[in-house]
Every structure is written in structure tokens, then in C-alpha cells.
């Protein structure tokens, strides 16, 4: 917001959500009756937090887990992770508007074990800090200019990584992507670069750089194994997904044991 706003009506959660009227990505009616609907069903219906718990948790739960969430956007998945029993959720968001929205959601949902931080996820992972029992990386890898570096940093801080991401596969709808061959620690990879042209619109929810680079799926699996997360399970692979091919997967370090 660029100006101070005084609200003189009866206090309500709707007053807070209306600060960003028509700019919410998520379906807030899932969160509480009377809130705006029509967005993505992230608070309850989205299966990805549950998939993470089923494949990386214990008995489908995250009890005792300290979770790092990369790019929470508006906190919908954060709510699910906390309901799934996470001991703590540290959610790092670079988009300042999305960060404020997440605080509104935290207030409405009554989250008590989740902390939202404003800043860059790679800078957070580079800084000294704890290891996490799981890193939840949903909808962010394909927004990174250097996705390989993000995986390297994440693998240094956890034994369990959940990923949902678009990936590059040659097809007519992905025209305009420029191949960028890279040599990373002896691995020959090809990243596919595209420029954001919609960064100025109010509902832009992409990355914090002007360009992004998509990985190919075989390269993604190679990089995970290279950094020790070699026990991988592809939960869903949808090459015909809207906006580009997508994959849901988990990667684990061999011998990883649940937190006690």
C-alpha cells in the first residue's frame, strides 16, 4: 500500500482482506465464512501438503517436524502444514504484498507455530541457521534464476525435500524459452530461460528477478541425487498441466530418520 488507510467500520477480518481486494490468489472462503472466494483452494483442498506428510512424515503427519516453507505466497499451505502437526513452520516470502497477506491469514487462522519472514529464500538458506526436518518447496523452483543453486542450498539444510514445480519439455506452448547450457560441479545441464513480461500487473506472483530458468525433469533428478537426496518418489507427473509440464516429487537422503 502506498498511502495510509484509516478504517472506521466495525472491526472484522474482512476489513483486512479488503485491503487487497481482487488481488488474492487463494480462495479465502475456505478459511472463514464471508471472506472472498474464487481463488485457488489452498487452505483445505490442495493435496500437496498432505502428500508431503504422507511421503516424508510419519503416519501421514508431521508431528515434531521443524519445516521450512519456501515461498508461502498467502500462507494457505502454511495453514495445512500446521494442521498436519508441524512443530514449527518457518515460511520465507520475497513478495512484500504476499508477506503482508500471509500475516493477515495467520491472524484469521490463528496460527501459533508458524513464522513468516520477508526476504529471499536463497539468502535465508545461505545464512547460518538450523537444519530442518523437511523443506517444502511448492511453486517456487521454476521462478528461480538459478534453480540448481536453490537445490544445493536446500540439500545442505535438510534430509527431506518436497517439490512441486513446472519443468521444461519441448512443446509448442513453451516457445520463447532460451536454452542455457551450464556446467555445474561436473554435471552438464540445460536450463531454459524466459523473461517475465507481466511483472507490473497487480496479480503478478512470480519470482523476484526479471527472468527465470526452468529445469528439465531428468536434470532435476540428477541434481537431487548429486546433493545426496537420492531416494526420490515421483508422486505425479503431468506433462499436459496448464502453463507447462509439472511434477510433484519427494526426495530423501538415504538413512534419514524422523525427528524424536
Tell me the pLDDT of the chain (260 aa) as tens digits: 457 789 999 999 999 999 999 999 999 999 988 998 888 899 999 999 999 999 999 999 999 999 999 999 999 999 999 999 999 999 999 999 999 999 999 999 999 999 999 999 999 999 999 999 999 999 999 999 999 999 999 999 999 999 999 999 999 888 889 999 999 999 999 999 999 877 777 777 778 888 999 999 999 999 999 999 999 999 999 999 988 999 999 999 999 999 97
Non-local CB neighbours of 96 within 8 Å, separated by 6+ positions: 118
Grid coordinates of 150: 536453490
> How far apart, in whole angstroms, are the C-alpha atoms of residue 29 and residue 13?
12
Give counts: helices (H), strands (E), the chain. Answer: 7, 10
Domains and CATH numbers, the chain: 47-252 (3.40.50.150)
Closest of 3, 32, 8, 4 to residue 17, by C-alpha: 32
CB 117 within 8 A of CB 189: no
Q: 31 φ, ψ to 5°?
A: -80, -40
pLDDT number for residue 204: 76
Non-local CB neighbours of 173 within 8 Å, separated by 6+ positions: 244
With H, G, I as helix, E, B as strand and everything else as coil, classify residue 30: helix
pLDDT number for residue 26: 95
pLDDT number for residue 130: 96
> Residue 77 is inside which H or E element, if any?
helix 76-83
Q: C-alpha distances in angstroms, 198 versus 98, 119, 211, 212?
A: 16, 21, 11, 13
CB count in 10 Å sphere of residue 164: 22
Scan for cell 529471499, then name that residue: 120
pLDDT number for residue 167: 98
Q: Are strands 88-93 and 114-118 parallel, antiparallel or unpaired?
A: parallel
Grid coordinates of 215: 529445469
User: Model's pTM, two decimal places?
Assistant: 0.95
Amino acid at each position: 500500500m502506498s498511502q495510509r488507510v484509516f478504517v472506521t467500520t466495525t472491526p472484522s477480518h474482512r476489513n483486512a482482506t479488503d485491503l487487497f481486494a481482487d488481488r488474492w490468489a487463494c480462495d479465502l472462503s475456505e478459511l472463514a465464512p464471508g471472506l472472498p472466494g474464487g481463488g485457488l483452494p489452498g487452505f483445505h483442498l490442495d493435496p500437496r501438503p498432505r502428500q508431503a506428510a504422507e511421503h516424508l512424515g510419519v503416519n501421514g503427519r508431521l508431528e515434531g517436524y521443524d519445516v521450512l516453507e519456501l515461498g508461502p505466497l498467502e500462507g494457505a499451505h502454511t495453514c495445512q502444514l500446521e494442521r498436519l502437526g508441524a512443530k514449527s513452520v518457518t515460511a520465507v516470502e520475497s513478495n512484500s504484498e504476499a508477506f503482508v497477506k500471509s500475516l493477515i491469514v495467520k491472524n484469521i487462522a490463528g496460527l501459533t507455530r508458524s513464522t513468516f519472514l520477508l526476504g529471499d529464500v536463497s539468502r535465508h538458506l545461505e545464512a547460518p541457521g538450523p537444519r530442518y526436518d523437511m523443506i517444502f518447496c511448492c511453486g517456487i523452483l521454476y521462478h528461480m534464476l538459478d534453480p540448481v543453486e536453490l537445490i544445493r542450498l536446500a540439500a545442505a539444510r535438510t534430509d527431506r525435500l518436497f517439490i512441486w514445480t513446472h519443468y521444461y519439455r519441448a512443446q509448442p506452448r513453451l516457445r520463447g524459452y532460451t536454452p542455457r547450457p551450464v556446467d555445474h560441479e561436473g554435471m552438464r545441464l540445460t536450463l531454459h530461460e524466459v523473461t517475465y513480461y507481466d511483472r507490473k500487473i497487480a496479480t503478478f506472483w512470480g519470482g523476484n528477478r526479471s527472468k527465470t530458468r526452468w529445469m528439465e525433469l531428468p536434470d532435476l533428478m540428477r541434481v537431487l541425487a548429486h546433493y545426496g537426496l537420492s531416494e526420490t518418489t515421483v508422486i505425479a507427473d503431468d506433462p499436459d498441466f496448464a502453463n507447462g509440464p509439472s511434477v510433484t516429487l519427494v526426495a530423501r537422503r538415504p538413512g534419514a530418520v524422523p525427528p524424536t
